[in-house]
Amino acid sequence: MQIEIDECVYWILHTVVASDLLKYNHVTVREENLEFIVVEAKNYCIDLTGLTKIEKITGMKLLQMKSYNGTSHLWFGRKMNLVSQSHFTR
């Protein structure tokens, strides 16, 4: 069972080591059952232990990191576990 996306955001923002967090966005691609959290930070310092912790807790992997002029964009993503219609109660 996956944790909710709000908890993923909390763990990612709590774990990412940056001197200045600028913003983040949540992106869902329903057709592909994928969701992403994109974090923008200044002066990001990569921490492999932190990335491993994020993946273990949230199931989200760092898929891409792009840095330019001191600003980094980190793309975390995972496949969504969809709840089948039979699990809904009426």
For 5-70, the three-class secondary structure string (H helix, E strand, C coil) is HHHHHHHHHHHCCEEEEEEEEEEEEHHHCEEEEEEEEEEECCCHHHHHHHHHHHCCEEEEEEEECC
Q: What is the pLDDT of residue 53?
A: 93
* Domain ranges within the chain, ordered by starting residue: 5-82
Fold of the 5-82 domain? Gyrase A; domain 2 (3.30.1360)
Give the pTM: 0.82
Tens of pLDDT along 15-64?
886 667 778 999 999 999 999 999 998 888 888 999 999 999 999 999 99
